[in-house]
């Protein structure tokens, strides 16, 4: 399923970081990806951001809770086309 935007929950244990203290990049392992929880949500409401001409304020329902997110997709998607879409 393709999504317009996404967010991820990663345990706050500090393990699995992709940068070491020296700032050098490290390869992500399969264990790093197993820590990610992808959430599918349905868009319930879309408003234009009051202080930005490229942003929408979007309310989504995950089935467990409602969340509010901001997405920089206003120039690409009319808000009428977003209501009811499922996103990751």
- Check residue 30 and give its pLDDT: 87
Structure tokens at 59: 């309310």
pLDDT at 5: 44
- Pairing mode of beta strands 8-9, 37-38: antiparallel
- CATH number of the 8-87 domain: 2.40.50.140
Nearest in space to 66 (alpha carbons), one of 48, 44, 86, 88: 44
- List b or e across 46-69, with b for residues whose CB sees 16 or more CB atoms inside 10 angstroms: beeeeeeeebbebebeeeeeeeeb
Averages of pLDDT over each 10 residues, the chain, 88 residues: 45 52 72 90 97 97 96 95 96
Task: Indicate the domain borders of the chain.
Answer: 8-87
């Amino acid at each position: 399923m393709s999504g317009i935007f996404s967010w991820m929950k990663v345990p706050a244990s500090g393990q699995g970081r992709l940068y070491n203290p020296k700032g050098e990049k490290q390869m992500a392992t399969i264990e790093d990806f197993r820590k990610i929880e992808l959430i599918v949500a349905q868009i319930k409401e879309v408003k234009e951001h009051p202080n930005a001409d490229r942003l929408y304020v979007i309310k989504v329902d995950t089935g467990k809770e409602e969340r509010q997110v901001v997405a920089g997709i206003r120039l690409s998607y009319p808000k009428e086309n977003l209501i009811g879409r499922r996103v990751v």
